[in-house]
Chain A
Amino acid sequence: MIEVASLTKTFSLSRKQKRELGGGRNNSSVDALRDISFTCKPGRVFALLGPNGAGKTTALRIIATMLQPTSGTVRVCDLDTGRDPHLVRSCLGVLTGQTGLYDRLTPTEMVRYFADLNGMDRDHFEQRRRHLFERLDMEDFADRRIGRLSTGMRQKVSIARTVIHAPEVIVFDEPTAGLDAVTSRNIVQLVRDSREAGKTIIFSTHRMGEVDQLSDDVAIVHKGALLYNGTYSDFKTGMQAPTLEDEFVRLIEEVDR
């Protein structure tokens, strides 16, 4: 379970950023998130939808305890992210579009490294590794250097690394960005499997197709503010535009106006 309540995140601007944002701007900070609240429940997939720069990654980084909120609270697995960040990270698996792999390690070494960081004992690790490598069809390249693997193979390693410790909550930050349709299917399958296993899943995207394919609940963020928060079926029912994409654009433009 993830519970986000009145979350605000303000970033100080560097001199260069202030310059880029235009003259006459006196503000020395920018609100990446403004008082947003939502809940992701176990056994459901929560989609965080928004255009580039909306604040999706910031929200996910706060959930993953990489960033501290300016105000508001975030609870993951019934733990406060501010108070027990490293316990929170123990029940989390994070997967980003960048595979985040070490090219000079082998898939086995990579996955073992994260199992060790999560305090898994050898037997448990070996059992999980065998299960995951078999399931993801990774045995053939398990001992090859990651740097020599194809994008699809790397994505599989990344998945195995994310779920080796069987986390209760899985965070996906634009997981299919830059991937082809075949490779993206691994991710889609992982999301489905995790939902079936009763995990809490949150993923960020700006692709409506992915939302339609995977999500149970959806939140739309734009310029740090929450424009919609509810079930995906309610969102579809209340649509004022003919397609999902049109409705998404309509909501964004309404704010911009």
Chain B
Amino acid sequence: MRVTITIFLKELKDTLRDRRTLFAMILAPILVFPVMITLSVNLMKSQVKKAEDKVLRIGLESAGNAADIRDSLLARSDMRVVEDLDVDRMKHLIQTDSLDAALVFSSDFDTQIESHHEGSVQLLHKSAEAFSTARTKLRELLSAYERRVVSARFKDLRVDEAITSAMEIQHVDISTRQEKFGKVIGGFLPYIFVLFCFMGCMYPAIDLGAGEKERGTLETLLSSPATRMQILLGKFGVIVLTGITSAIVSVLGLYASVRLAVQLPPMIQEMVSGLLQISSLLMVISLLVPLTIFFAALLLSFSIYARSFKEAQSIISPLTLLIIIPVFIGLIPGIKLNGVTALIPILNVSLASREILSGTISYPLLAEVYASLIVLAAAGLTGCAKWFGREQTIFRST
């Protein structure tokens, strides 16, 4: 144990003196959320403001109909109306962003309205537009007109407008706020935690395996009285620690940025703060521990196999994609934690974390996730130990 601790402390000191590891382990995870939140909130605000302030160019083909609507459009300061264009021309102008939207009234629009029928109007727009401000504003304008017409018709018929409503449906959502938002954001957070866990392990694993081999220090270490298991455990401890630290730091970064972000809308702030309860976060981190052990075993095995730092990087980098896939599956609506998904590595962490953050975790399923992760971690560690003991791995030449 003394030798393992000696190796662990030395590897830790060595790792903490490496700027690249510090960046991957602490700086990147702590900065990612504040930067992401600040950037996205500011960008969103500025885009919304830009869209709101913009004078919309609206095409109008009324064929002498809908004088009310035409007057309303012309009276608005946020819209500039372009008339006397045919429909194809208007479509082309919308397509090329020279117009924001257009209204095309049928030639019998007024006749239809007067005879208590439906008047036909086309709203031309591009659904690919980010904010659809023009469409929204025109719809509001048309809806207001429609309400006025319908109201007048009821009045003509001397019928109370309320007769059209036979029933009032009241939606009573009994989900807690934590549950409601946990299902949405709770799926995204594990994605970040798992990814940081993996990335936090990646660089130290490469450095402590292939890096040592390349520098010739592994051979020096193997010639010391330390056994291979002691060497492996010492290195392993550091890799697991950096992975967990990375995940914890990313959680702290998120927590701090939500608490301190002044620009964040209060509702979102309250919602995320509700999700990030200490007990839930601790439970999520406890799930990440066995997963990180597995990651460390996997990464160290590949790293030890590689002959150089560069080779290890080229072997390990594609693994990031393999990690993302199960986490991504966990984001798909309808995929739930059950007896089967609780056994699938990474996906089970993603789904269980979502349930934990939502406050709806089933404890028997959580126990199954823990059991599956512990078996996975033990298998990973055993495999790595066997791999590390092989002469062909340590002294691999070609």
Contacts and interface: CB of A to CB of B under 8 A. Distances in A.
Contact of A113 (B6, B17, B223): B6
Contacts of A113: 6, 10
Contact of B392 (A12, A87, A103, A114): A12
Contacts of A86: 225-227
Contacts of A92: 223
Given A89-B223, A96-B219, A113-B6, A102 B14 contact: yes
Nearest to B224: A117
A149 interface: no
A91 to B, nearest CB: 9
Contact of B224 (A12, A16, A61, A118): A118
A40 interface: no
B222 interface: yes
Contact of A117 (B6, B215, B395): B6
B216 interface: yes
Contacts, number: 77
Contacts of A171: 223
Interface residues of B, number: 25
Interface string A6-27: 0000011010110010000000
Interface in B189-247: 215-217, 219-220, 222-227
B13 A116 contact: no
A67 B397 CA distance: 14
A117 B14 contact: no
A138 interface: no
A216 to B, nearest CB: 24
A130 B14 CA distance: 24
A114 B391 contact: no
A16 B307 CA distance: 15
B14 A96 contact: no
B114 interface: no
Interface in A92-144: 92, 94, 96, 98-105, 109, 113-114, 116-119
A20 B397 CA distance: 13
B86 interface: no
A61 B395 contact: yes
A17 B216 CA distance: 23
A118 B225 contact: yes
A102 B224 contact: no
Contacts of B6: 113, 116-117
B13 A109 contact: yes
Contact of B226 (A61, A101, A109, A117): A117
Interface string A30-63: 0000000000000000000000000000000100
A114 B222 contact: no
Contact of A100 (B3, B13, B217, B227): B217
A89 B225 contact: yes
A120 B28 CA distance: 40
Interface string B3-31: 10011001001100110000000000000
B148 to A, nearest CB: 77
Given A61-B395, A98-B216, 5 more contacts: A66-B395, A89-B224, A89-B225, A100-B217, A116-B6
28 contacts: A14-B392, A16-B398, A61-B395, A65-B223, A66-B222, A66-B391, A66-B395, A67-B391, A86-B225, A86-B227, A89-B225, A90-B225, A94-B219, A94-B223, A96-B216, A96-B220, A101-B215, A102-B10, A102-B14, A104-B14, A104-B17, A104-B18, A105-B14, A109-B13, A113-B6, A113-B10, A118-B225, A161-B220
Nearest 8 A-B pairs (CB), nearest first? Answer: A98-B216, A100-B220, A94-B223, A104-B17, A117-B224, A100-B216, A116-B6, A89-B225
